[in-house]
């Protein structure tokens, strides 16, 4: 320990613009620095949240730089070196708590630490996604389901970000004695303050639908582009704004061009402050094929924006089982029909705005951070 403070390490793959990374940057800002001396270690030195994290925590990384040395180190870490060696050479330190804040490689690396549960360091794993619906770690990070199950067994606690994520985890890996549900801390005051900032947001031409996240298959943005084309065919005027960046940008642009809706699609890229865009939306949509707990849905509620979401892990808890936002089945047809209901006026945006604001007022950042602090300290819940 450093005086009376606990030395805490959070290990992540990177600090790129994903939901878990955004949550971590907000979490380290809120942790009591009189109690915790925080280090964040990224496997790969990249991402939009590095500067924010550095304000509140020591920052380290394993793979950085550029050129041949970067490529060599990346290959060694991801393909060749045993996890135990990587832990010993690049991660180990005088930590009271070590937390794998994302699934996959961070979980595998901390599980490889000598001693496991018998060592002096308290080990915690976070699960942000439904690993039953989206078992992306299999064959990529872990060779088998049994290997991944053994890895989680070496942690004192496993945090799931929603009840449905916990249920999916237990169906896949069995029960864990240290399993706990902790909702992601989202700072309501910060969201509202940033939404009020001066920003260059183009004026609306018609009904504006906004969604946000990495431009990847999981987020289901292709569904929204196809739904936009369906609205156009039916004479409904709408525009779609996708806030984020990712590997599917070109594919989404080609899809929009092929469907004749390029002029109604805006993709301004990743934004450090997306809230003025979100606050000005007529409707915020979560179209994800799978989730754990959608941070942007919580942020939309805070902003009092009507929310439409397909049912996936965490959504029911966030939307009060439909009290704060409309929930529909997780398929293309249900999503398209619901979008048309809002654009046509069959669903009242004014009424859903009131319901969203009610849900947003229930978001408690400080309380969520205190729950994490209790967990880091090893308090019984």
Q: For the segment 224-253, what is each residue's pLDDT rounded down to a tens digit?
A: 999 999 999 999 999 999 999 999 999 999
Closest CA to 121 of 380, 378, 379: 378
Q: For the segment 32-91, what is each residue's pLDDT rounded down to a tens digit?
A: 999 999 999 999 999 989 999 999 999 999 999 989 999 999 999 999 999 999 999 999
DSSP secondary structure string for all residues of 203-224: PPSSEEEEEES-SSGGGTHHHH
Question: Which of 55-64, 304-313, 371-380 is predicted with the least confidence, judged by mean pLDDT?
Answer: 371-380
Q: What is the CA radius of gyration of the chain?
A: 21
pLDDT of residue 3: 55
Residue range 349-376: mean pLDDT, rounded: 94
pLDDT of residue 19: 83
Q: Is 352 helix (H, G, I), strand (E, B) or coil?
A: helix
pLDDT at 2 over 60: no
Q: Is 180 helix (H, G, I), strand (E, B) or coil?
A: strand
Per-residue pLDDT band at 381 (split at 50, 70, 90): very low
pLDDT of residue 1: 47
Helix boundaries (H) for 280-331: 295-302, 315-318
Q: For the segment 134-180, what is each residue's pLDDT rounded down to a tens digit?
A: 899 998 899 999 999 999 999 999 999 999 999 999 999 999 999 99
Per-residue pLDDT band at 116 (split at 50, 70, 90): low
pLDDT of residue 118: 67
262 and 100 Cβ atoms separated by less than 8 Å? no
pLDDT at 200 over 90: no
Average pLDDT over all residues of the chain: 93
């Amino acid at each position: 320990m450093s005086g009376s403070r606990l030395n805490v390490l959070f290990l992540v793959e990177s600090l790129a613009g994903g939901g878990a990374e955004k949550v971590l940057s907000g979490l380290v800002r809120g942790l009591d620095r009189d109690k915790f001396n925080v280090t964040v270690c990224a496997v790969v030195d990249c991402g939009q949240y590095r500067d924010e994290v550095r304000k509140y925590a020591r920052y380290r990384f394993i793979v950085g730089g550029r050129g041949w040395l970067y490529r060599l180190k990346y290959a060694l870490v991801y393909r060749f070196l045993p996890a135990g060696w990587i832990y010993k050479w690049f991660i180990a330190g005088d930590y009271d708590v070590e937390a794998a804040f994302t699934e996959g490689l961070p979980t595998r690396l901390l599980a490889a630490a000598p001693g496991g549960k018998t060592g002096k360091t308290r080990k915690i794993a976070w699960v942000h996604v439904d690993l039953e619906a989206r078992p992306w770690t299999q064959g990529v990070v872990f060779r088998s389901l049994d290997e991944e199950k053994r890895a989680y067994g070496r942690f004192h606690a496993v945090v799931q970000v929603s009840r449905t994520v916990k249920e999916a985890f237990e169906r896949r890996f069995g029960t864990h004695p240290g399993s706990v549900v902790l909702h992601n801390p989202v700072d309501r005051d910060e969201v509202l303050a940033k939404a009020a900032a001066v920003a260059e947001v183009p004026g609306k031409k018609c009904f504006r639908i906004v969604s946000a996240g990495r431009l990847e298959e999981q987020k289901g943005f292709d569904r929204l582009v196809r739904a936009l084309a369906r609205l156009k065919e039916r004479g409904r005027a709408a525009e779609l704004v996708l806030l984020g960046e990712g590997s599917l940008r070109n594919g989404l642009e080609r899809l929009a061009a092929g469907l004749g809706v390029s002029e109604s699609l805006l993709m301004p890229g990743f934004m450090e402050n997306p809230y003025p865009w979100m606050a000005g939306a007529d409707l915020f949509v979560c179209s994800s094929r799978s989730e754990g707990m959608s941070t942007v849905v919580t942020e939309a509620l805070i902003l009092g924006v009507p929310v439409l979401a397909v049912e996936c892990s965490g959504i029911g808890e966030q939307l009060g089982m439909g009290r704060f936002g409309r929930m529909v089945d997780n398929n293309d047809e249900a999503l398209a029909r619901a979008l048309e209901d809002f654009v046509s006026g069959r669903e009242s945006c004014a009424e859903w705005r009131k319901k969203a604001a009610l849900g947003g007022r229930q978001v408690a950042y400080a309380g969520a951070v205190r729950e994490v602090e209790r967990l880091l300290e090893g308090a019984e819940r």
